[in-house]
Structure 1
Amino acid sequence: MNPETATKEAMSIEGAIGVALVDYESGMCLESLGGGRDFDLEIAAAANTEVVRSKVRALEMLGLDDRVEDMLITLSGQYHLIRLLEGSGGSLFLYLALDRSRSNLALARHRLKQIDAELRL
């Protein structure tokens, strides 16, 4: 699947507020859907670029021969999932914001993993 289809698939996840495909090396948002006036997806995606960079640096500093698959940030009303994409050479991630009251975290993580496996860049 292409990036546009991937973001549409991610937005079909129950409770999705917004989704972005982001290059964490440049901080650029390549595709996005959702968000709105109460949730600026561009700002959220850019801010989470720093989260990803920090975690990748931490793994390098620790000398761990491992990679980040995904990260979860829980807020009182939302879940924020960050999935580093395997086929991207390690520089892209999918960022998905979910309404906590309308979503199933396990199913959302599973679906992002499927999208990752099907995405062709």
Structure 2
Amino acid sequence: MANVEISLKEMMTAVEGAMGAAVVDYTSGMALGTMGGGKDLDLAVAAAGNTDVIRAKVRTMEHLGLKGEIEDILITLGSQYHLIRLVKGRTGSGLFIYLVLDRERSNLAMARHQLKRIENEIEV
């Protein structure tokens, strides 16, 4: 099992093209930890904003009567991918992993695979 800091380091080093990463509590919108980012990528602001994305999607699924669980959400920008992966299990309930990738340097399928592995190892 890996703590938040180790998980963030793993995302930034194991995922090709990673620009920033956060582990976020979506009940409060607060980031438990961030790594990377910069002046053009404020991960604390992104954590709060993406909490709203998750809440909106959960509400929409409830209104539609959809029974499945959200695995991840992908937001595609011109030069970036933004991946949001909900953490499952007893130690990560209410959390999500947020990863920003450089679109030209990353492999989206491999990034999703790595996030799933990291999600399974994270312990809070």
Q: TM-score range by the shorter chain?
A: over 0.9
Q: 1:20 corresponds to which residue?
A: 22
- Within the candidate set 60, 63, 78, 2:62 is matched to 60
| Pairing 1:113–2:124 present | no
- Worse-matched range after superposition: 55-64 or 108-117: 55-64
SS in 2 for 1:103: coil
- Worse-matched range after superposition: 57-66 or 27-36: 57-66
User: CA deviation digits over 1:6-61, x for unaligned, max 9?
Assistant: 11111111111100101111011111000011211111111111101111111222
The one-letter amino acid paired with 2:18 is A
- Structure 1 length normalisation: TM-score? 0.95
The one-letter amino acid paired with 1:25 is T
- Structure 2 length normalisation: TM-score? 0.92
* Ranges in structure 1 where 5+ consecutive residues have no aligned partner: none
User: CA deviation digits over 1:51-76, x for unaligned, max 9?
Assistant: 01111111222222211000100000
SS in 2 for 1:95: strand
SS in 2 for 1:29: strand
Distance in structure 2 (CA, Å) of the matches to 1:38 and 1:72: 20
| Pairing 1:75–2:82 present | no
* Ranges in structure 2 where 5+ consecutive residues have no aligned partner: none
SS in 1 for 2:70: coil
Considering only aligned residues, what root-mean-square deviation do their CA atoms show, in Å? Answer: 0.9
Q: 2:6 corresponds to which residue?
A: 5
Structure having the higher helix fraction is 1
SS in 1 for 2:34: strand
